[in-house]
Chains A and B, each alone.
Chain A
Amino acid sequence: EAGVAQSPRYKIIEKRQSVAFWCNPISGHATLYWYQQILGQGPKLLIQFQNNGVVDDSQLPKDRFSAERLKGVDSTLKIQPAKLEDSAVYLCASSLYLTRQGVTEAFFGQGTRLTVV
Chain B
Amino acid sequence: AQSVTQLDSQVPVFEEAPVELRCNYSSSVSVYLFWYVQYPNQGLQLLLKYLSGSTLVKGINGFEAEFNKSQTSFHLRKPSVHISDTAEYFCAVTYTGGFKTIFGAGTRLFVKA
User: How many A-B contacts if CB must be within 8 Å?
Assistant: 57
The answer to whether A103 touches B44, judged by C-beta atoms less than 8 angstroms apart, is: no
Encoded as 1 (CB less than 8 Å from any A CB) or 0, chain B from 92 to 108 comes to: 10101011111111100
**A contact residues, range:** 20 to 34
CB < 8 Å: which of B36, B94, B105, B106 contacts A103? B94
> Does residue A105 face the partner (Cβ distance < 8 Å to B)?
yes
The answer to whether B51 touches A108, judged by C-beta atoms less than 8 angstroms apart, is: no
**For the complex, would chain B's binding face be called helix, strand, loop or mixed by DSSP majority?**
strand
> Does residue B34 face the partner (Cβ distance < 8 Å to A)?
yes
Encoded as 1 (CB less than 8 Å from any B CB) or 0, chain A from 37 to 62 comes to: 00001111100101000011000000
Residues of B within 8 A of A (CB): 4, 6, 32, 34, 36, 42-46, 49, 51, 90, 92, 94, 96, 98-106
